[in-house]
Amino acid sequence: MAAPLVRMQGIAKRYGGVQALRGVDFEVRSGEIVCLLGENGAGKSTLMKILAGAVTGYEGEILMDGAPLRLKDTAQAMKAGIGVVFQEFNLCPNLSAVENLFLGREPRVGLGGLGRAAMRKGALKAFADLELDLDMDLAVGKLGMARQQMVEIAKALSQKPRVLILDEPSSALSSHEIAQLFRVLKALRASGLGIIYISHKLSEIRELCDRVVCLRDGQNAGEVDPRTCSEDDLVAMMVGRVLEPTKAGNRSVPSGASLLSVKGLSGPPNLSDISFELRAGEVLGLAGLMGAGRTELARLLIGAVPRSNGRVEIQGRELFPKDPSQAVAAGMAYVPEDRKTQGIIRGLSVSEHSSLSAPSRVAGRLGFFRPGRRSALSRYYIRRLRIKARPDQSALDLSGGNQQKVVLARCLATRPKVLILDEPTRGIDVGAKAEVHRLILEWAGRGLGVLLISSELPEILGLCDRVLVMHEGRLNAELRGEDLTEEAILKAAVGSEAGNTLKTYR
């Protein structure tokens, strides 16, 4: 077996009163993909930030090729051969993919001139290596999340690292794009790179990784070969207990009348002629590849984007929202895709989040808060959603799972009839995920209609008994009962059959 490229020994780190890491050992060898597993808050990110030089002031030792390495900043880590793709994108959205790729190490021509030709040449090769087909001159912000992610990876690889850290690279990708990413990672492994892969998706880990190192509460919780252990074993190692899986039998049962009726809805950028019904008590799945228009459909329904055509009814009453506040008033609520930029509000406490969208429940007619109402409202949702927080705690300081519950509470506080969930379990740990699933079914059971957008097929298959599949801005299939399988969803998502027919007729 190859000698370790990087070995971390007895790493400990303290943030104020919180001991994030308590003596963790970790190593990566050349030519392997090792998965770092653990619930949110287990210390994975801290450990990787130390290795990337982004967090200093730790105890313990890092050895690179057997020689001690004391990292002072990220530039030094980069020089030592450690490349990182963090969960948050570090791209300039206004610059093109080429410009982003060479940011900070632009080739020069003469006195301070920019070597555009050299940049293009380098970028063409870098993107070709990743099988990435994109418009290199388009502002990166206009590319989809998946392509942005790949640009980010290309950027990390362009530093010629020996160790590559990937922090949940697949959370923004569709299954199709994940398969592409895996091909690239396996090729990199074969070329001798040591890859550290952080993910919550257990099936991926079993497919991709050679070794799994699990952390729990800032300590090593075990190390296994993913090919010889079951997903249940991985989960048990992570949480230290056995979780009840979401069974297909737990699927929602639509009971009542039609809550939401959408007819011929069209709008930017490419949504056209979308029609469906959502019934009380139903969890309706909305599947599709990244960029198929699922989030855009949600934003159209909630009124964040004006529609160009079509009719939407909530309980038979027409809804034509000028902005989301009107849609919310009509009984719709939306849990957005990106918790950090669209969900959680900086500076607001847990209690203020739940009061924000439901002023009529906490304030009188003139807009003055009634004493005690706000904390009572938030205590109710803290209890019902099992949020691990105090009402007056800043929501930004909570873990990802609890933040997501705070956003969910803010939506539920409006007592919606129709709830749109956009990737509600992205980037949250397994325990919190199971709870969010339980909550979705519980609230649907109370007569809510839920439209569930998710890129995770097991989640959709576990919760929905009817699934709409989008492809290039259109509904390509409606699957239910025996037709509802992973294969069928994927087929419809990549646009086969029905999608092709539509194109022919257009």
325 touches other proteins by CB under 8 A: yes
CB of 328 to other proteins, least distance (A): 3
CB of 302 to other proteins, least distance (A): 7
191 touches other proteins by CB under 8 A: no
297 touches other proteins by CB under 8 A: no
Cα gap 406→103, rounded to integer Å: 37
355 touches other proteins by CB under 8 A: yes
C-beta of 213 vs 406, nearer to other proteins: 406
356 touches other proteins by CB under 8 A: yes
- Listed as own residue / partner, the contacts of 312-318 with beta carbons closer than 8 Å and 24 or more positions apart are 312/260, 312/261, 312/262, 312/263, 312/265, 313/260, 313/261, 314/259, 314/260, 314/417, 314/418, 315/257, 315/258, 315/259, 315/417, 316/258, 316/261
CB of 93 to other proteins, least distance (A): 14
473 touches other proteins by CB under 8 A: no
Integer CA distances (angstroms), 183 to 287, 292, 479, 483, in order: 23, 23, 30, 29
C-beta of 30 vs 342, nearer to other proteins: 342
Q: Name which position in 367, 383, 446, 506 contacts other proteins (CB under 8 A).
A: 367
11 touches other proteins by CB under 8 A: no
CB of 216 to other proteins, least distance (A): 28
Partners of 213 in the β-ladder: 36, 223
CB of 398 to other proteins, least distance (A): 15
H helix or E strand, kind and range, residue 477: strand 474-480
461 touches other proteins by CB under 8 A: no
327 touches other proteins by CB under 8 A: yes
C-beta of 368 vs 505, nearer to other proteins: 368
Integer CA distances (angstroms), 290 to 161, 294, 321, 448, 497, in order: 29, 8, 26, 27, 19
Q: Name which position in 148, 171, 414, 455 contacts other proteins (CB under 8 A).
A: 414
**Candidate ranges 61-69, 80-88, 333-341, 469-477; the one touching other proteins (CB under 8 A):** 333-341
| 440 neighbors 450 (Cβ within 8 angstroms) | yes
Cα gap 341→339, rounded to integer Å: 6
Cα gap 181→172, rounded to integer Å: 12
57 touches other proteins by CB under 8 A: no
Integer CA distances (angstroms), 45 to 10, 50, 266, 362, in order: 16, 9, 41, 38
Closest alpha carbon to 34 in 205, 187, 218: 205
- Listed as own residue / partner, the contacts of 218-222 with beta carbons closer than 8 Å and 24 or more positions apart are 218/19, 218/20, 218/21, 218/22, 218/24, 218/42, 218/43, 218/46, 219/21, 219/22, 219/23, 219/24, 219/43, 220/24, 220/25, 220/26, 221/38, 221/42
Cα gap 501→505, rounded to integer Å: 6
329 touches other proteins by CB under 8 A: yes
Q: Name which position in 101, 235, 302, 418 contacts other proteins (CB under 8 A).
A: 302
Q: Which of residues 212-231 bind other proteins (CB under 8 A)?
A: none
348 touches other proteins by CB under 8 A: yes
345 touches other proteins by CB under 8 A: yes
Q: Name which position in 100, 148, 171, 357 contacts other proteins (CB under 8 A).
A: 357
Partners of 131 in the β-ladder: none
| 88 neighbors 168 (Cβ within 8 angstroms) | no
406 touches other proteins by CB under 8 A: no
Q: Name which position in 138, 359, 390, 442 contacts other proteins (CB under 8 A).
A: 359
Partners of 28 in the β-ladder: 6
**Candidate ranges 95-103, 122-130, 191-199, 354-362; the one touching other proteins (CB under 8 A):** 354-362
Q: Which of residues 368-387 bind other proteins (CB under 8 A)?
A: 368-369
- The pattern of x and - marking residues 421 through 460 that bind other proteins according to CB under 8 A reads ----------------------------------------
Q: At which residue do the structure tokens 């308590």 appear? A: 22
**Candidate ranges 116-124, 142-150, 343-351, 472-480; the one touching other proteins (CB under 8 A):** 343-351
Quote the tokens at residue 429: 């740990």
Q: Which residues bind other proteins (CB under 8 A)?
A: 302, 304, 323-325, 327-329, 333-334, 336, 341-348, 352, 355-357, 359, 363, 367-369, 410-411, 414
